[in-house]
Every structure is written in C-alpha cells, then in structure tokens.
Structure 1
Amino acid sequence: MNLSLITAIKFRKGRRKSGMLSLISIISTMSIAIGIAALIIGLSAMNGFERELHNRVLSVVPHGQLYPQYGNLEQWRQVQKELKENKDIVSAVPFVNFTGLIENGSKLGAVEVQGIDPEQESQTSALPKFVLNNKWQEFKSDSQQVIIGAGLAKTLSIKEGSWVSLLLPVSTNGSTQLKQPKRVRLHVIGILDLSGSLSNNVALVPLADAQKLLDMGDSVTGVMVNVDKVFDASRIIAQATLGLNMNLSFNSWENAYGFMYRDIQMIRQIMYLAMIVVIGVACFNIVSTLVIAVKDKQRDIAILKTLGATNGLIKHIFIWYGIISGLIGSLMGVILGVVIAWQLSNIMKVVESLMGHKILNSHIYFVDFLPSEIHFTDVAIVFVTAMLLSLVASYYPAKRACKVDPARILNSF
C-alpha cells in the first residue's frame, strides 16, 4: 500500500509535464470542490430555515387552539385547568381574537388583534423577546396600550410611542342598516419584529382590554396550548380535546404553518438528489483524467512491470491517483462550503445592499433574511459520499492500466 501510494503521488507530480493532463486534472478537482461547496451551503441554508421555523415561528405562535364552534368560551378556567393536568401539554392560556382596522392619519390597514395576558404570555412563550427595546415590561391592561407588528408599522408609518385609532365593526343584530364602526384610541407601546410575514398584520392588546372592547365580560375566544412534542401537536391536542368535559373544536400549528416545514424537508431532499448528481458528474471527471494519465504513463507502467510490478500494484497506484484527486477536491470544497455557509447571512446582506432590495420578501416568507446553520453531520456525509464516488470512478481506469503490454510499449520507443 505504501509503495502504490508513493508511486501515485510521484505520478501526480509528473503530470505537470503534460499540459492537457494537468488542465483536465485541475478542472475535475475544481468541479468536485464547487459541487461539494454548493451542497454544504444549500444544506446549511435549509438547516437555518428549519432553525428559524422552530425558534422564531413555533416559539411564538401557539401549537394549538381550542375554541367553541359558536360564540365565546365561558368556562375557560375549567378548560385551562383540565388541559394543564395533561402531561403532554406545557401551557394553556386564554386568548381573544378579532379583526379590525388600524388608522394612522390618512393611512388605514387591516389588522388581526390578539388579546393576551401579558404575565402568562411571558411565562409560556418567546413572544416578549421579539418586542423591540424591551417594551414588553411596560405592557399592561387598562392603559390603552397596543403592540404593533413591524410590517404593519412600516406600512402605516407608525412609530413606537405613536397614538393610533382602532376601528371595530359594530353588530347590527340582523339589521341591514350599516352602523359606524367603534373607534378606540390606543398608544403604541412597542413594535413586534419577527423579521417576516408573521408581523405584517398583527396587533397585541392585553386580554382584559380586548374583553372590554368586545363587551365579552369574562368570556374568551378560546384557549391556546403549547405541547412538549411540537411535531406531534395535532395528535396530542386531539386527544386532549376529546378528554374534556365539553365539546370544543381545535386546530394546530400544522394547519397554518405545516406547509413551511414540509416545504423545507422537500427542498432538502431535492437538493440532496440534485447535488449528489452534480458531485457524481464531477467525480466521474476523474475517469477522463485517469484515462489520459494511463495513456501518458504507459512507458512508466511498462518499466514497472518489467521490474516485477504486479497487476494489483498497478491497479492500486491508479486507484490512489483518483482518490488523491477526489480528496484534494473534497477538502477544498468542504473548506469553501463551510466558510461561505458560516458567513452566508452576512454575505447576503452585502449582496442585498448592492442590489438595493431584499431577496426574501417579508410579505411572502416567514423570515426576510437568509439563515444558515452548519451541521457537521451533513458535511461528513457529503465528504464521504464524494470520496466513495471518487473511488468508484477510479476503478475502470486503474483496471485498464493493468492491460498495458510492456513488450509492445517499450519496443515502440
């Protein structure tokens, strides 16, 4: 093995004498490097999206909601107590949900208003940490306060500390006559920035204030729950709902945001397939490199055979030749891919500043930046796959090198 490896290294150094062989070898090595780097960068981006989905979306939105089919939930405290007794449910908090219009000067925008308990929310959700300037600490009931989503604030030119009007529809009790909407002045105590579409049309008010605005008394829209196994939320919430003493409907985060997770997994699988094909094509460039190397080294092979080299030694020499080419390309690709993936978010910020607009539109995507997270398991899998393909690609040229006839080759010189 040492002899075949040393000889392969000598052969690679000697390839510089042949300009064509050297060029093809460089192209095949760079192809492997670029393919591996692209795969690592792509997988790191998918890992980043999955991380943001878990840390930014699933830590903010409730994993599920329970609510009556008609009207409001009167006995929500009993429901909350029963849900908290379920070992699979981490938290259960009441909420009020309604739609309205936010008016700021001449600008008007639709908004989904959520009434939540500030104290309970801070204990069960990561929502408070996304409120800018730590203004959640000042968020309290009976103070005409509201927290506005960053996307909505930008659209309506609302700043922290501004006063806005909330317009609510007034029930007509079956009458066809339109009534003037109820108008409430609210102080924007903070801005909720989730860096994506989630904060485009949302506003938060204290639960007690929301109940007063809708004249609900002590009733609520429903109960929000978080579970310990996020990706099994539908089953857990369904079983918990069936175990309650009252008939309630439910939904889970998978109904509203499950497509995000499925899309990430689908793109990851497609990327694996596409990039493995790219790396495979790059690795099989080694075949052409080795075929030319065998042609170029025919005289050296003939001399080795006359000195007693076996076909096994010749085969191992050229297998090592191909593995070394694959190793160099793979190492270059891993280093390039890891460095770019490590700084991918910053690189994209520079690109976006040069282009003058964001690549990911916050009105469409749940984040408006390109996240990245390197998993060294992915890096190892890509590296090993590239080396295996290099080994496979080296086998045919190495076998062909064994068929060189020393007598014919040496007589021709």
Structure 2
Amino acid sequence: MINGLAFFIGFRFSYGKSQSGIASLIAILSTFGITLSIAVLIISLSAMNGFERELNQRILSVVPHGELEPVNQDFTEWIALLSKIEKVSGVVAAAPYIRFTGLIEHGSKVLALQIKGIDPKLESRVSALSSYVKREAWKNFLPNKHQILVGQGIVNSLSLKLGDWITIMIPSCHMEDQILHPKYIRLQLIGILNVNGILNHSLAYIPMEDAQKLLCIGSNITGIAIKAKNPFEADLLIRQVGEVTNLYVYLHSWIGTYGYMYHDIQMIRTIIYLSIVLVIGIACFNIVSTLIIAVQDKRRQIAILRTFGATNSLIRSIFIWYGLLLGGVLGSLAGTIIGSFIAFKLTSIVKIIEKLTGCHFLSGDVYFIDFLPSEVKIFDVAIIFMTSIALSLLASWYPARKASRLLPAKALSLQ
C-alpha cells in the first residue's frame, strides 16, 4: 500500500502542472539526453553485432580457417594426407588448392591478382563459395573447358560480363637455365562471385586440373585448406595438423590475415559501450539538479504530507519514483523503442541516404563488406535499459534523501 501511494504521488509530481519553468526545462533536457544516449548506444552496438555476424557468415565461410603449404617438398601424395588431417579432432574437412599469380587482361585493362585452382566438390566441404556464385555457374564449373570464376569487384574493374573471354598471363613452365616468355591462355567467364566486400576484388578460381596442366606440375598441389569446427581456435588446431603431417610445412590461419577485423570489432564495441554509458550517466545525473529544484518547489506539499503522518521512507520513495518516472523510465523507454526501431532498419536507412547523397559509406575495395549491417540482440537492449534505470535510481537517491529530512515547520517558514 505504501509503495502504491509513493508511486501515485511520485507520478503526480512528475507529470503534474505545478512544476516551475526551470524544473520542467531541466527535466525535459534530462529525458532527451537519456533517450538520445540509449538510442545511439543500441544503434552502435547493433552495427557492431552486424559486423561480427557478417565476419562469421561471409569471411569465415569463404576463406580457409587454416592452410598448410610445403617448405621444400612436393605435395604429390596429398590424397592420403587429407584423410590424416580430417581425423584430427576439431577439423571438419580439408581440400587441396593451387595458388599462383597471374595478369588478367580484357581489352585495354590489365589487373594482377592471385588465381586459385580448386576441386569444386572438395572445396564445397571447406568453403561456402558456391552460395555466392550467381546462377548455376558452380555446377557447370568443370575442368578442361577453359573456365574461370571471378569476384564482382574484378568484373567491375575490367568491365566484364558473363560469357566474356579473358586473357591470363602466367609464368611458363620452369626449365633450368632457360629464360622463357610468359604463357598466355584464354578463359571464359562462366560465373561471378559476389561476397559484398573486399574479397570481391581478390577472388579468381579455375579448376584444379586445369591449374596443374597450366603450371606443368603434374599431380602436385600448392597446399591444403582446412575448415575448423571452431574458427577461433584455428591457431592451435593448425599446429596440431602440422604435427600430424610429419612434414616441413608453412602454417597459416585466418587469424593472421583477417583476425584484426574481429579484434577491431570487439575493441570498438567496448569503447562505444563505455563512452555512451558515460553519456547516459551524465544525462541521468541531470536528474539530481531537477530533483533538488523540485524538492525546493515541493516544500509545502512535503510539509502537508508530514502533517498527515508521512514517514521518512514514504517521502524518500515518492521522490525516488519522481526521479525514475521523470527521466529514467520515460527516457529509457523512448530511447529503447527509437534505438531498436532504427537499428532494425539501419541497413535500409543507410542505403536510402547513400542514394540521396551519392556517397558510399563503405567501399568494397577497402572494407570486408560494402554495406552497413545491423543485428539487434535482446540481451544488449535489456542490459542498456537496466543500466539506464540503475543510473537513474542512483541519481535520485540523494535528492530523495534530502527531501525525507526536510522538517515541516522549516519548510512552511520558507514559503
């Protein structure tokens, strides 16, 4: 009953018409500050969640989690080696590849990049490349047909379209004590890979058998790609795989090449959370000013409540509810609703702004994705909301305590 009465009186104090102009202005500014801070925090954390999701679903689904490459020996017996590697705990699958550098020429445009020879069937076990190929190109990607798959960024740079024939210049087969001219080959573009990011500018694939013939390496391969059950343990796993092979090999993991992206996302997430929580704290502590002014304005009402037998705890509860309802609850709810709505529509909103301004925020040849992603997590929203309420409660405690110690005779004498 006492708590209900405190809430009712606190509600009347908060939204009644008896507040002074300065108190109302400070209350409005405090509520607006809390609303804005919470909305920005939810949007920012949702964007970081979106980047992390895209890193996991795009980058880690396309690039190998680990790679083994021989130091001085050939990988001619790689078929037997695959079975050994896949028996290592934590390894999902392994696939061979051949990597070499070439120049792609189309018309008057030339582009240097690394080309990868793969076995489409084995590659599908370690990579989700097939899901990013337009049309049915992956099924038709077969050896001995002079075919190539390239990324969307390369297609845009060279002004290519499906079905075009492109010229690739690669080193000639090595012969001792001879200087040979480069080898020119013609390949047809049968598929375009679109991962919506920096990988679009570095992806080029041909069938592994074709790569072996072009490089005159017989059944040899460049290395073995590995897919890990837990990508974030790739460094440890790749060492275990290296020990199983009993060969001198170079060991690489995605953490060495793309791990900085994940660490940057985590660091920015922490910085955003700390900075915006401080802003929320500043906005919440404006409630202190509002309540101190309110205590001075409500001296007469406090004295009347005292006359009717209100206890210190009741007066204190009234002003705690006053502070929570005035800034904490209203500002927190408004900020949570506005921030969550914008976060859900963030990608679409940014695309509309890009069309209106003609400015592309994330360039695909610089960042690992070319759009601003967003993912709203209920846990993050709940933590932000509860943090705001807790800070509002803390800010309301001192003015409420001061109001509870106000004596009726002194309050009335100051009127």
Distance 1:207 1:412 in 2: 92
| Cα pair 1:318 1:397 within 8 Å, conserved | yes
Code of the aligned partner of 1:268: R
* CA-CA distance at 1:88 after TM superposition: 1.4
Distance 1:12 1:173, change over 3 A: same
TM-score (structure 1 length as normaliser): 0.96
* CA-CA distance at 1:124 after TM superposition: 3.4
TM-score (structure 2 length as normaliser): 0.96
* CA-CA distance at 1:367 after TM superposition: 0.1
Counterparts in 2 of 1:148-297, with a 5 A limit?
Answer: 148-170=150-172, 179-297=180-298
Q: Which residue of 1 aligns with 2:135?
A: 133
Q: Find out whether 1:60 has 2:67 as its counterpart.
A: no
Code of the aligned partner of 1:251: H
* CA-CA distance at 1:72 after TM superposition: 3.7
Q: Deviations over 1:270-325 (max 9, x none)?
A: 11111110111111111111111111111111111122111211111001111112
Q: Which of the numbers 28, 42, 45 marks the counterpart of 1:43?
A: 45
Secondary structure of the structure 1 residue equivalent to 2:62:
coil
Q: Which of the numbers 372, 375, 389 marks the counterpart of 2:374?
A: 372
Secondary structure of the structure 1 residue equivalent to 2:359:
coil
Counterparts in 2 of 1:251-400, with a 5 A limit?
Answer: 251-324=252-325, 325-400=327-402
Q: CA RMSD in A?
A: 1.5
Code of the aligned partner of 1:185: R
| Cα pair 1:237 1:250 within 8 Å, conserved | yes
> Percent of aligned positions with the same letter in both sequences?
46
Distance 1:290 1:216 in 2: 81
Distance 2:343 2:383 in 1: 16
Secondary structure of the structure 1 residue equivalent to 2:139:
helix
Structure 2 alignment gaps of length 5 or more: none
Further displaced range: 65-74 or 362-371: 65-74
Distance 1:85 1:402 in 2: 71
| Cα pair 1:110 1:201 within 8 Å, conserved | no
| Cα pair 1:15 1:21 within 8 Å, conserved | no
The 4+ residue runs of structure 1 with deviation greater than 4 A are 171-177
Q: Deviations over 1:228-264 (max 9, x none)?
A: 1110011011012112232322111111111011111
Distance 1:331 1:399, change over 3 A: same
Q: Which residue of 1 aligns with 2:118?
A: 116
Further displaced range: 99-108 or 6-15: 6-15
* CA-CA distance at 1:17 after TM superposition: 4.5
Distance 1:264 1:412, change over 3 A: closer
Q: Which of the numbers 3, 22, 25 marks the counterpart of 2:24?
A: 22
Distance 1:48 1:16, change over 3 A: farther
* CA-CA distance at 1:117 after TM superposition: 0.4
Secondary structure of the structure 2 residue equivalent to 1:8:
helix
Q: Deviations over 1:72-130 (max 9, x none)?
A: 42221121111122231100111000111000000000111010101122243211010
Code of the aligned partner of 2:80: Q
